[in-house]
Amino acid sequence: MSKVDFGTGIGIMALSVAVFLIARKMPDAKIGIGPGEYPMVVAGVLFILGLVLSLQNIPWKTNARKTVKDIDGKPISLQMIKRPFFMAIVVFAYIRGMFYLGFLLLTPFFLFFAIWFFGYRRYVRAAAISIITTSVIYVVFYYGFQVLLPRFILF
C-alpha cells in the first residue's frame, strides 16, 4: 500500500483523460486509423492501468500490510531530492549554456563542479582531469567521428 502509488495512479488516469480529449479532436480517417485513434487506444489502456494501480494502493485500506516491507519503491522525501534537483539545474544550465559558450569552454567548468559535487576534494587533480577529459572528447568526436560539437557563439 503506498500513497505515492495511489497518487500516481490518479495522475496517470488524469493524463489519459487529457490525451484522450486532445486526440478526439484530431481528424478521423475514412480507412485505416486516424492520427487520433491510436493515442486514444493507448490512453484508454493507460487509464485502466492507472485505475488498477490506484485500487491496489487505496490509502484507507486497513490490512496487515503495514508490517510488510514496502516493495513498491522507496519513499521520496524533499531532503532526498534536494541534491539531485540541484544537479539537474546545473545540468540544464550546462546544456543551455553550451549553445552560447560552446562545448570546449563550458565542459571543463561543468566537470570540475560535478566532480566536486560528488565529493572529490583534490582540486588540482580535478581541474586537470576536467581539462584533459574535455580535450580528449573534443578531439575524438571532432576529428574521429566528424561531429561538430557546439562552439562559442562569438567564433
Identify which of 136, 116, 137 has the alpha carbon closest to the alpha carbon of residue 125.
Answer: 116
Strand, coil or helix: 64: helix
Instruction: By CB under 8 A, tell whether 52 contacts other proteins.
Output: yes
Q: How far is the CB of 87 from other proteins (least distance, A)?
A: 4
* Binds other proteins by CB under 8 A, chosen from 21, 58, 139, 147: 147
Residues between 115 and 134 that touch other proteins (CB under 8 A): 115, 117-120, 126, 129, 133-134
Distance CA 76, CA 80 (A): 7
Q: Are 44 and 16 in contact (CB under 8 A)?
A: yes
State in angstroms the smallest separation of the CB of 115 from other proteins.
Answer: 5
**Closest CB to other proteins among 62 and 146?**
146
Instruction: Specify the amino acid at residue 25.
Output: K
